[in-house]
Amino acid sequence: MSQRTDIAAAKNWSERALKLIDEQGLPPEPDVYAVWYAYATGQKADLNKEIDQRLSSGSPIDAHTASDLRRRYVAEKDLSELALESGSRLSSEVDKILKLVEATSGDNSEFGNSVREASQGLTSQSTPNEVHSAVEAIVEATRSMEMRSQLLEKRLQQTKAEITELRDNLDQARSEARTDGLTGVANRKAFDEVISREIKRAEKEDGSLALLIGDIDFFKKFNDTYGHRTGDQVLRLVASCLKGGARENDTVARYGGEEFAVIMPDITAEAAENIANEIRETVMGRELVKRSTGETLGRVTMSIGVGIFRRGDAPSALIERADACLYAAKDGGRNQVISEANPPEDLRKLAG
């Protein structure tokens, strides 16, 4: 299949996906679009079968269901394959450039030979006709070289535009592969990469590092009482508070379900605990309103545990201590921050 055919097919699938999304009355969010685009392509038989069954039985496919379907059928593997495809095409374009440069080198050599051949027989005794013929040959060789140079420039400009597009596609694919589709913060894969990198950096540079792990209090109650759409709204609200409260060089991630994490390099234990409390207070200060009805649903709270990096830590060790502090905060009444730098009695052994 040619690239032009690929583009035409992708356009048709995209138009069909958007039409299906509109028919279902859904917002064109990343998870929703990914699922219906995959459905439109017909390349995932199990996904199409489940969607068809849901539609025939009258079961709604809301944003939460779409998120679940994407997780099960349109995995990050697909995004990785997109990145690999873009990378492969990028490599192909680079090969084209190298071949063009090689061809130009050959053209330059041919031009030099033509000039030498034309002028080889000229001497101070050459007749005007001989000089004229040599000049004409050199002019002709120059024109030919100029045309080839213009053609090369045109091809290079086209290739440059293609590479720019491919690079943008590759960057987008990489970003999507590391981003949580619902909340817009980093996903678990990105979290694992960053925590490993920051621990290595802190170990090498004898630096500091803190890890916040937070959990939304009574999140299941929101889902069971008000539905998954409201639950998604709560997750987005908390993610927004975390991004607003974190520093520029911190990494906010959705750790799993209703759990979030913030990786904080170059920070003291006291400063990390203060920021955690500011985030907790910001979350508590937001009043939740059901968008569809304007109904006030109360306030959301969250519990946060703060782990502090120790030399020799593996990522799992730091995560385990931050997690233990989180569960101590929940067991102690929720809506609070507990740091291993100031642990309750039953956690002192972790700080020892």
Q: Count other Cβ atoms within 10 Å, centred on residue 340.
A: 24
Where among 55, 74, 93 does a domain terminate? 74
Tell whether 279 and 341 lie within a shared domain.
Answer: yes
Last residue of one domain, picked from the residues 49, 74, 99:
74
The tokens of 142 are what? 């120059």
Q: Is residue 183 part of a domain?
A: no
**In DSSP terms, which residues pair with 210 in a beta bridge?**
264, 308
Residues 21 and 121 in one domain: no
Q: How confident is the model at residue 223 (pLDDT cuts 50, 70, 90)?
A: confident
* pLDDT bucket at 35, cuts 50 / 70 / 90: confident
**Does residue 60 share a domain with residue 21?**
yes
Asked if the structure places residue 282 within a domain, the reply is: yes
Of 47, 74, 101, which residue sits at a domain end? Answer: 74
| 137 and 168 together in one domain | yes
Give the least confident one: 104-108, 253-257, 287-291.
Answer: 104-108
- Residue 171 φ then ψ, to 5°: -60, -40
Band (pLDDT 50/70/90 cuts) for residue 324 is very high
Sign of torsion, CA 196 75 29 55?
negative
Angle at 306 between CA 301 and CA 311, to 5 degrees: 165
Mapped onto helix, strand or coil, the DSSP state of residue 96 is helix
Q: Are residues 187 and 180 in contact, defined by beta-carbon separation less than 8 angstroms?
A: yes
pTM for this model (two decimals): 0.57
- Asked if the model's pLDDT at residue 76 lies above 60, the reply is no
- If we measure between CA atoms, which residue out of 178, 158, 159 comes closest to residue 170? 178
The two three-digit tokens of residue 255, written as one number: 């750790």
Angstrom distance (rounded) from CA 89 to CA 167:
10
Which pLDDT band, with edges at 50, 70 and 90, does 1 fall under?
very low
| Same domain assignment for residues 337 and 210 | yes
Q: How confident is the model at residue 200 (pLDDT cuts 50, 70, 90)?
A: very high
- Which residues are part of the catalytic machinery? 258
Residues 97 and 112 in one domain: yes
Identify whether residues 101 and 7 lie together within a single domain: no
Dist CA 340 CA 307 (whole Å): 6
d(CA 52, CA 69): 13
Q: pLDDT at residue 25 above 70? A: yes
Look up the CATH number of the domain holding residue 315.
3.30.70.270
Sorting pLDDT into bands at 50, 70 and 90, what band is 31?
confident
pLDDT band at 50 (very low <50, low <70, confident <90, very high): confident
55 and 129 inside one domain:
no
Instruction: Give residue 40's pLDDT.
Output: 83
Q: Do 98 and 47 share a structural domain?
A: no
Contacts with 347 (C-beta within 8 Å, 6 or more apart), sequence order? 324, 325, 328, 338, 340
Same-domain status, 217 and 317: yes
Print the domain residue range for 36. 3-74
Structure tokens that stand for 294 in this block: 């304007």
CB 334 within 8 A of CB 323: no
State residue 59's pLDDT score: 77
pLDDT band at 57 (very low <50, low <70, confident <90, very high): confident
pLDDT grade for 37, boundaries at 50, 70 and 90: confident
Those residues whose C-beta lies under 8 Å from the C-beta of residue 149, and which sit 6 or more positions away, are 104, 107
Q: Provide the pLDDT for residue 287.
A: 83
In degrees and rounded to multiples of 5, residue 221 shows phi and psi of -65, -40
In terms of pLDDT, which residue wins out, 62 or 274? 274
Question: Do 199 and 172 share a structural domain?
Answer: no
Residue 18 belongs to some domain of the structure? yes
Domain shared by 35 and 107, yes or no: no
What band does 2 get if pLDDT is binned at 50, 70 and 90? Answer: very low
Q: Is residue 266 part of a domain?
A: yes
The first and second tokens of residue 343, run together, are 């642990």
Q: What is the pLDDT confidence band of residue 350, given thresholds at 50, 70 and 90?
A: very low
**Which is nearest to 326 in space by CA: 339, 313, 308?**
339
The SS3 assignment for 287 reads: strand
Q: How confident is the model at residue 3 (pLDDT cuts 50, 70, 90)?
A: very low
Domain contains 182 = no
Q: pLDDT confidence of 330, banded at 50, 70, 90?
A: very high
CA–CA dist 94, 71 (Å, integer): 35
Which strand ranges, in their side-by-side order, compose the sheet holding 259-265? 251-256, 259-265, 209-216, 302-308, 337-339
Domain count, the chain: 3
> Which of 134-138, 263-267, 320-324 is predicted with the least confidence, judged by mean pLDDT?
134-138
